[in-house]
Amino acid sequence: MADILLVFGTDTGNTEDIGEKIQELFSESGHFVEMINVSDCSADKINSTDICIFGVPTWDFGGIQEDWEDFQDELETAELSGKTIALYGLGDQFGYGDYFIDAVGWLHEIIQPMGANIKGYWPTKSYEFDGSRALSPCKTYFYGLAIDEDQQFELTDERISEWVAQLIQEFESDEAA
Ligand SMILES: Cc1cc2nc3c(=O)[nH]c(=O)nc-3n(C[C@H](O)[C@H](O)[C@H](O)COP(=O)(O)O)c2cc1C
């Protein structure tokens, strides 16, 4: 499997911490993950990697973490057609239950029309929230892993470990196809 580029944005550090856990789990399975803050990233950097993971927190009632928002124009110049991309988002389902991980939905709305091969959809069943921009049309999946360090931190490690196992399977079955 190709090396992976994990691009994260963060205001208070949670999305970076989760990225490090994802990195560690991939590494235990023999896969290299390079982490980069979105504020240091470029379209060229993304173009140079076959597989990307994007991590984004949601802020201020459905708002996009500002470094990601600043990166939108650059992201739209990247060559994402056919590129394998998985998303994860940080949010607070009880504090901001109408906007839970909305920023994942925002990223999905950008990368899907650009032809990205999006992996890692994640079931909504263990969460309680009223609305999210990150929901699949059937509303039973998020467009990526949802992590809630504010309300369900005790579920985080298990969620990450299941998601990474799911991604490895999805990435490898793509390669075999
Ligand atoms: C003022 C404020 C606004 C927030 N707005 C949202 C929101 O709209 N939706 C959501 O899911 N989470 C929201 N959150 C929760 C953050 O996304 C969450 O704390 C996340 O872990 C922060 O990640 P970071 O440390 O990587 O910035 C908000 C938190 C605060 C303090």
From the CA of 29, how far away is ligand 1's center (Å)? 31
CATH of 4-171, one of 3.40.50.360, 3.60.130.10, 3.90.1150.10, 3.40.50.1820: 3.40.50.360
Cβ(156) to ligand 1 under 6 A?
no
Cβ(8) to ligand 1 under 6 A?
no
Hey, whose CA ends up nearest to atom 29 of ligand 1? 59
Q: Between the CA of residue 38 and those of 55, 86, 140, what are the distances in Å?
A: 9, 15, 29
| Banded model confidence at residue 167, pLDDT cuts 50, 70, 90 | very high
Per-residue pLDDT at 1 exceeds 80: no
Per-residue pLDDT at 149 exceeds 80: yes
Quick count: other Cβ atoms within 10 Å of Cβ 49?
18
* 154 CB-near residues (< 8 Å, 6+ apart): none
Per-residue pLDDT at 77 exceeds 80: yes
- Summarize pLDDT for 4-63 with one digit per residue, the tens: 999 999 999 999 999 999 999 999 999 999 999 999 999 999 999 999 999 999 999 999
